[in-house]
Amino acid sequence: MGGLSEDLSSTTLHLDSDNNQRVYFVPYRWWKDAHDSLTGDADGERGLPFLASPGSSYAGPMKIINNIFNSDLVFNLKREEDSSQNSENGEVGISGRDYALVSGEMWVQALKWHIDSKSSTRNGGSFSVAEDNIADVYPLQLRLSIQREANLLGVRISKKDNVVELFRRACKIFNIESELLRIWDFSGQTISFFSNSNMQRQSDQEVLLELQVYGLSDFIKCKEGKKDELANSILGNSSGTSPAMNGASGTGSSGCFFVNSSVFSGSSREAGSLGLTGLQNLGNTCFMNSALQCLVHTPKLVDYFLGDYDKEINYDNPLGMNGEIALAFGDLLRKLWAPGASPVAPRTFKSKLARFAPQFSGFNQHDSQELLAFLLDGLHEDLNRVKKKPYVEAKDGDGRPDNDIADEYWQNHLARSDSIIVDVCQGQYKSTLVCPVCKKVSTTFDPFMYLSLPLPSTTMRTMTLTVVNTDGSTPTPYTITVPKSGKWEDLIKALSIKCSLREDETLLVAEVYNYRIIRYLEEPADSLSLIRDGDRLVAYRLAKDDEQVPLVVFMHQRIEEQYINGKHSTIPKAFGFPLLAKLPSAFNGSDIQDIYKKLLSPFQVSTQYALEENHTSDIDTIDKTREEENGTNSPSACVIDPLRSEDGVSSPSDADFQFYTTDEKGTIKGSEIEVGESLVGSEKSKRLYVLVSWPEKQIERYDTRLLTSLPEVFKSSFFTKRPQESVSLYKCLEGFLQEEPLGPEDMWFCPSCKKHCQASKKLDLWRLPEILVIHLKRFSYSRFLKNKLETYVDFPVDDLDLSMYVAYKNDQTCTRYVLYAISNHYGSMGGGHYTAFVHQGGDQWYDFDDSHVNPIGLDKIKSSAAYVLFYRRVVA
């Protein structure tokens, strides 16, 4: 895309500036969100990935001196051969350093999708690119050259080709000295560069490409007074021509467009709005950016760190970090709240974090709540006003009122821990333990920094299995819901109801991998946690017999032809999931063939072949009758059998299935099974394994795609969602506070019985903090399963009332809260993407997505991505 027009009188090629041929440079994630939604395929078109690396603008003998005085921005793009490996452990397209090249048509479709999705809360309206729907699109001139020896694409951005403002933007966008930068080409433009014959002839040939840069205006937001100035500098004179480049002139259509962001949000935001500054993604650091944005918008913390907080740094605290975490956080907060700030790269903070918490080093994805817990504790210790902590021994209640005991515990806590974090973020539990033997009651009052609430409704799991019948009917996938901690018998029961299993039938479930059965799931007491989301399960529907009868397991194989070094060869290739049926007590090769053909009947493409066979049979019958009547074999009565050659020799290998004995893996090709041959199954398993070789003619007569299609237990990806479950935040809180027995690993030592026992535990909220942080426990871990819970939690935004859940009743204590920030997690565990929603006065909320900050409607705040909620207490 982007047609090349050669100018043979010059060493520079110019690209046609026609609208349909334009190439747009956009954030990868912006493009992928729209593409995946429009196509419904998150694993579809991937584009060509290129990795940027530093380059040299001059390769002559004066290279070093020339590069010192040359202000051009120069780098190379090299094709990444294995981008799939990079995407498994990383966050491709979400790091903020991944971009995409798309055609004009692709850009228009993606822009339309984003506008429609963001304007759904407002009035509708038709879409037109000619209207004010283009946000900060500006042109950037690049000079490209091919370095064929190294298979590199050289890129040079010159001040001579671009106005100063746009060149400065380019320097920020393409800064590759300290961060990886990838560009994914969906436009096909790079292929045209490498294949251009004129460029192949001249190694110093350059292509002048005009990129339309979109979606990256957060680097520099022009004030209204500068928009016209910049537009005029780009558009040039009143004739609408752009600056000349090597004698070439462009038209006004390639100028710069500026549109108020109210197109997308309903309100505009200028650069320099206090607190509306993004954080650059340094490589899978969105988890850190999300947690930081929530903290730097916590009211009391903002005032504190904008003041003289360094006076309270405790450099002598052995539990602290010598004040380095507090100083790094304070410096970062000030940068984010500075007027006119552009997106901040939190490298210093990241390095300090990696030093004191090595678990967060490197560039792997982490948990924003785990970072938040470490950071709050680290800030507290660095800012602890207590220089020398006294030894405090907890005393038993001895029948004293809870109020007195709680106050004593709290004062003991403050004697050792006193900081802005304690002032703002810490509350107090009442914890009650009861011995099941002597009924001894132990009450303690412990501080808490946040509440980690379970999601009580997420006890179920959705699973998909394919039921295969032996009566010739089509295999059918069924989706069932079973207890997440359930047993295998729970799945069989649910699936039996779903597929209307009769009393005289039974189900045999097997896991299929690489076109063979790797295990049979027959133990009713086995845990369902042994089944992973990516497994593929088949449930064979069989007749229920009083006595065990042998089974036949068919595996399929086709012969593929290959030419290696000009020599013809054939290679067997397995395909499809195995078919299974019960065998009679005595059987032979003919029975095996009949059973297999019956099992294949649902996959037959059409009845045409059967009609042809019947037609041939009818002709044979008629001709035979004529022969009997005439007593002669006339030429007109001769019919050629379609399965025979013209010389009358049978060719079964051309059309018939061939059956061989094999092992349970289908790797051994034993003797061929003859029609009348008597067979026996394996004495050990009572199963006969048969390998069926398919000729090409049979491949054409059956729909092998149906035989190969086998869904996963649950298809999980960044863009897919589990069936929505819903629960109230109050229900989560009730589940957290309800009485429950301690686990075997948390036995309590009873002071009366003098032994460890499995006591019952009850938590109550006693003292509420000014800032209440609520962690929704979406990630679950077990020995066999790691899972993310996609439950939709309905949480209050304007009025969280905890009066019913506070054990200490005090008229002066306010129990009402309002939401001011959310840390969101999208996608599956171990990857995905984090963002933050922050309230900024009135009804206005903002979406902090790494370096991008955009307004968001109040109705978009609640979602199943909400992970950590930040509430502030309402002043009574």
Positions marked active-site: 286, 833
In the block, which residue shows the tokens 């790079």?
190
DSSP 3-state of 706: helix
Report how far apart the first and last C-alpha atoms of the chain are (Å, whole number): 63
DSSP 3-state of 252: helix
Please state whether 151 falls in left (phi above 0), alpha (psi between -120 and 50) or beta: left
Written as six digits, the tokens of 380 are 């507290």
Contact status, residue 800 vs residue 773, Cβ threshold 8 Å: no
Contact status, residue 652 vs residue 697, Cβ threshold 8 Å: no
- Could you tell me which of 426, 432, 433, 431 has the C-alpha nearest to residue 447? 426
- Could you tell me which of 410, 269, 284 has the C-alpha nearest to residue 340? 269
Please list the residues that pair with 448 across neighbouring strands. Answer: 427
Please state whether 340 falls in left (phi above 0), alpha (psi between -120 and 50) or beta: left
Contact status, residue 12 vs residue 208, Cβ threshold 8 Å: yes
Q: What is the DSSP string of 159-223?
A: TTTS-HHHHHHHHHHT--SSS--EEEE-SSHHHHHHH-HHHHH-TT-EEEEEEEE-S-GGG----
What span, in angstroms and rounded, lies between the C-alpha atoms of 544 and 504?
Answer: 5
- Amino acid identity of residue 251, one-letter, is T
Q: Helix 347-356 vs helix 286-295: angle between axes, to the nearest 10 degrees?
A: 100
Q: What is the DSSP string of 543-588?
A: E--SS---EEEEEEEEEEEEEETTEEEEEEEEEEEEEEEE--SS-B
**CB neighbour burial string for 235-270, b if at least 16 within 10 angstroms, e if fewer:** bbeeeeebbebeeeebeeebbbbbbebebbbeeebe
- Could you tell me which of 622, 602, 314, 610 has the C-alpha nearest to residue 471? 602
